A = this chain, B = another copy of it.
Amino acid sequence: MQNRLVLTATVEREDILRYTPAGVPVLDMWLRHHSRQQEAGVERDVICEIQGIMAGDACREWAGKLAGQTVRVSGFISQRSLRNSRLVLHIEYVEFVKG
């Protein structure tokens, strides 16, 4: 069951590193994407905003460095919780790109 999103986006906001009750570090951020994409032979503007969540030791390296940056992220999407169907991106990989 595939589930993979690759997105180039600007980090509009980055929260302070938090820890789950089990001690896992988690970094929450808000991503904004803007591009031109082809659809049915016509080029169109595409805008989207999605919350990104990075969990695990790797996010310690990124904490405090992402706000305002343009990044390429990849990971899987899920609804935020059983009761909240809003989509969030669980980030497995991130790298800086030139904005």
Contacts and interface: CB of A to CB of B under 8 A. Distances in A.
Interface of A: 1-8, 24, 33-37, 39-41, 46-50, 55-57, 72, 76-79, 82, 85, 87, 90, 92
A62 to B, nearest CB: 14
Q: In terms of DSSP, what is the predominant structure of the interface of chain A?
A: strand
Contact of A5 (B1, B4, B56, B82): B4
A33 to B, nearest CB: 6
Contacts of A72: 2
A48 B85 CA distance: 7
Contacts of A2: 6-8, 72
Contact of A50 (B1, B36, B49, B87): B87
